[in-house]
Chains A and B, each alone.
Chain A
Amino acid sequence: NAGVTQTPKFRVLKTGQSMTLLCAQDMNHEYMYWYRQDPGMGLRLIHYSVGEGTTAKGEVPDGYNVSRLKKQNFLLGLESAAPSQTSVYFCASSPGTGREAFFGQGTRLTVV
C-alpha cells in the first residue's frame, strides 16, 4: 500500500501563477484534509472533505479551492499564488472520526 501520496513534493511558483496539488489515498478512507504548516503555527486546516463530492472550509481557506470528485483524490488549488502561501502543505486521510489520520510526505511550496 502506498498510503497517502502527494504530488508534487517541491514547487516554486511566481506570484500570480496557479497550480494544483494532488493528494491520492489507496485506503478507501472517507475523510480527507489539507493542512499547511508554518513555523510556530503548527498545522492549520485549509479545507477538508467528509466524503466523495463534499468539501468544507477549515481555519484558513482564503486563496485556496478544493475538489473531491473521486473518493481517493483530494485536490488543492491555488488560483493566484501569493508569497503568503509559501508553506509546507500536508494532506491526510482518515476512515472515520474516531480513527487516526494518515499523512502524506508533504509538498514544499515557495511563491516568489
Chain B
Amino acid sequence: AQSVAQPEDQVNVAEGNPLTVKCTYSVSGNPYLFWYVQYPNRGLQFLLKYITGDNLVKGSYGFEAEFNKSQTSFHLKKPSALVSDSALYFCAVRAPGTASKLTFGTGTRLQVTL
C-alpha cells in the first residue's frame, strides 16, 4: 500500500529565513509526487509536482521541492519565508497507472513569524 509521512506536525521559521517541510513516501514503481497548501477554511491549492525529469522542481509562490529517489523523499523548500506562507502543507503521492489512488500525508503546519 502506498503511504506518505510528514514527520513534523509544525515547522516554525522566522521571516526571511529558509524553510523546509519534510515528506517521505512509499509506493510501488516510480512515484508521482505533489505538494498542496491549505489556508484556513479553504480547499487545497496545488503548489508543485514531480512526475519525471529534473529532481528539483519549482512551483508557485517561490516554492521548490527536491525529489530524492534513494531516500524516498520529496522535501518542500523556500529560500526566504514570508509571513503569508503560514498555512497547512500537504504532501501527496500517486503510483503510475490508470486506477491509482492519490494518497496524502497528515499535513505540516508552517508558522512564519516576524
Contact = CB atoms under 8 A, between A and B. Distances in A.
Interface of A: 4, 33, 35, 40-45, 48, 50, 56, 58-59, 90, 92, 94, 97-98, 100-106
B90 A43 contact: yes
B72 interface: no
A33 B94 CA distance: 13
What's the interface size class on B, roughly? 20 to 34
B102 A102 contact: no
B102 A42 contact: no
Given A100-B46, A105-B42, A42 B101 contact: no
B49 interface: yes
Given A42-B106, A90-B43, A103-B44, A98 B90 contact: no
B71 interface: no
Nearest to A91: B43
A46 to B, nearest CB: 11
B104 A35 contact: yes
Nearest to B96: A97
A4 B103 CA distance: 19
Residue in B43, B99, B105, B106 with the greatest tally of chain A CB atoms within 10 Å: B43
Residue in A33, A40, A59, A100 with the greatest tally of chain B CB atoms within 10 Å: A100
A50 B99 contact: yes
B104 A43 contact: yes
Given A50-B98, A98-B32, A45 B103 contact: yes
A103 B45 contact: yes
Given A42-B90, A42-B107, A101 B101 contact: no
